[in-house]
Amino acid sequence: ALMYAHNKGVAHRDLKPENLVFCSKEPHSTRVMVIDWGVGFHFGLSRMHSTVGTVTYAAPEVRMSTDGAGYGEACDLWSLGVMIYVMLSGKPPFWGKSQVRKMLSEEYPMSGPEWRAVSDDAKSLIKGLLRADPARRLSIHEVMEHPWLRELGVTIDPEISKQVLSNMRQFSQASHLFSLGAASVARQLDHKGLRDLHRVFCQMDKNGDGVLEFHEMRESFERAFGKESEELRDLEWVFRKLDFDGSGTIDYTEFCAAGIWKRMSMEEDVLRAAFKAFDHQNDGRISKDEMQKVLSNADVKRMWTREDFDDVVDEVMQTYDTDGDGSIDFDEWVFLMRENAERCQR
């Protein structure tokens, strides 16, 4: 999550254990989410200057930001180091009246009974994160490649991976409207509904940046089906079709849309969720204006012209507005979605 945010030019600035939550009450099979981005900042190429965050977890450059020098996203890496220290030892690394001095001189204990079971790799990661000089601190990319994290790689049933990848390939045949419907559902599903997809995504996302590049997708297909498999045919075209916002990568929502599309034709609650994403007036009908608003959202603006939006909406109305009232009701929507799902399976 931190790598994804930093790659987007966003710093959290208040990382602490209280801002990490489980997505469900089953900690052994759930994932962790970073919350409370209230003091987050889109830093881009600029420096940050506000003294924000929680004292125990704030980096020294944040504590002393009034000196005018400012600070960068490395402040989050310091906070991460403090969090790991607290989680492994049960106490903060710096406390007392001389707290800032100890931070600047990197004085913190790593001995005692609570540290006997902590591996050298874990200690190495903490030391790399609690460097007072931000320029010497580990970057988020170095953290992701650290031995302590690499040994905790995600494993998943190969058959589940194969099924998800096959679904992705079939989904590349979908219409733009069906793709966006699936994406809108993917955004609303809870963690349980996306659990297998999340695990496959993490396995494919080798560098942990929160998006899939073409080489990561190709390597995953090769591992699942073999380098000579027909499943690898036209894979670049498949990749471009799944990347419907034209970013050059497949983000998590696009990936989940490709993984859940079969549910769009079988489960009524999923069909209704997609319908409601388009029915902004909540009147049980999707008008041309409502459809155009969804289709012209920021996710696809860079790929489509106004004429593209109009052509898609006109085609949908001509084909699926069977009662001729100028809108799509739920029954017409179900027929639209199921016909598009069947097209993906041909």
In this prediction, residue 17 carries a pLDDT of 93
The residue-averaged pLDDT of 14-27 equals 87
CB contact at 8 A, 41 and 10: yes
If DSSP states are collapsed to H, E and C, what string results for the chain?
CHHHHHHCCEECCCCCHHHEEECCCCCCCCCEEECCCCCCEECCCCCECCCCCCHHHCCHHHHCHHHCCCECCHHHHHHHHHHHHHHHHCCCCCCCCCHHHHHHCCCCCCCCHHHCCCCHHHHHHHHHHCCCCCCCCCCHHHHHCCHHHHCCCCCCCHHHHHHHHHHHHHHCCCCHHHHHHHHHHHHHCCHHHHHHHHHHHHHHCCCCCCEECHHHHHHHHHHHHCCCCHHHCCHHHHHHHHCCCCCCCEEHHHHHHHHHCCHHHHCHHHHHHHHHHHCCCCCCEEEHHHHHHHHCCCCCCCCCCHHHHHHHHHHHHHHHCCCCCCEEEHHHHHHHHHHHHHHHCC
- The CATH code of domain 1-151 reads 1.10.510.10
Which range among 81-85, 115-119, 188-192 shows the weakest confidence by mean pLDDT? Answer: 188-192
Tokens coding 230: 């027909």
Which tens digits make up the pLDDT trace of 61-104?
A: 998 876 677 899 999 999 999 999 999 999 999 988 888 899 99
Q: Which of 76-90, 168-182, 189-203, 240-254 has the highest mean pLDDT?
A: 76-90
Q: Is the pLDDT of residue 155 over 70?
A: no
CA distance 302 to 298: 8
Phi first, then psi: give them for residue 251, nearest 5 degrees.
-85, 180
Which tens digits make up the pLDDT trace of 223-254?
A: 888 888 888 888 999 899 888 778 899 998 88
Q: Is the pLDDT of residue 156 over 80?
A: no
Which tens digits make up the pLDDT trace of 282-318?
A: 999 999 999 888 776 645 555 567 777 788 889 899 9
More confident of the two residues 149 and 281? 281
What's the CA angle centered on 268, arms 267 and 269, to 5 degrees?
A: 95
| Architecture of the CATH domain 158-345 | Orthogonal Bundle (1.10)
CA distance 335 to 337: 6
In this prediction, residue 154 carries a pLDDT of 58
* Per-domain residue ranges of the chain: 1-151, 158-345
Catalytic (active-site) positions: 14
In this prediction, residue 12 carries a pLDDT of 95
Of 126, 21, 14, give the one whose Cα is nearest residue 75.
14
In this prediction, residue 97 carries a pLDDT of 83
